[in-house]
Structure 1
Amino acid sequence: MAGFLKAPTREAPEPLEGPVVATVTGGTVLWFAMFLLQLPFYGWFADRDLLWWVWTCAAGGGLGLIGIWYVRARDAALKRHAAARTAADGGAGGTAPTSE
């Protein structure tokens, strides 16, 4: 395939870190709130064959609970790893010792 040029490879950027636990928790709360707000209109959704809207919100909230558990465990593991690295480096603030 001589017509295709190969793009130069680049190193992948560092992942962006942010308030992951708060973001997932907020999203989960929103899914559950939408589910609860739709419950009084269950009959309206059923009459129009739109019950999937209600159950999608319930599924989003349920999966969000799994997500909260996952990101909290991930956050704790990252903190344990950082503490272990700091201890292994002799408490040098998490930086590797430099050699001269």
Structure 2
Amino acid sequence: MRPMTDQRDEERGGCRPENPCTCSVEGIVTVDGRGQMVLPKELRERAGISPGDRFAVIFSETEGSVCCITLIRKEYLDRSISSLVHTVHEKIRSGESR
């Protein structure tokens, strides 16, 4: 069963093993006194971010400190989890163990 995605998700393609991501610094944001950050309009437009879009927040740590914060679109995370669960279910059905 294929996970549900919206049309924008299909058009973007996304990061996958057959379509690896590249990383680049596109801007710098500042945290205000209320703990909020604003992504500049140009970045939101380029990333196709609209009001109401949802993201998972992933921390990477080194030596006990958070060094990276990654945002992953919920739709892509859903797809990855669905694929993982499907693989596990197939192994269970086929009688495979670890």
TM-score (normalised: structure 2): 0.36
TM-score (normalised: structure 1): 0.36
Higher-RCO chain (CA-CA 8 Å, sequence separation at least 6): 1
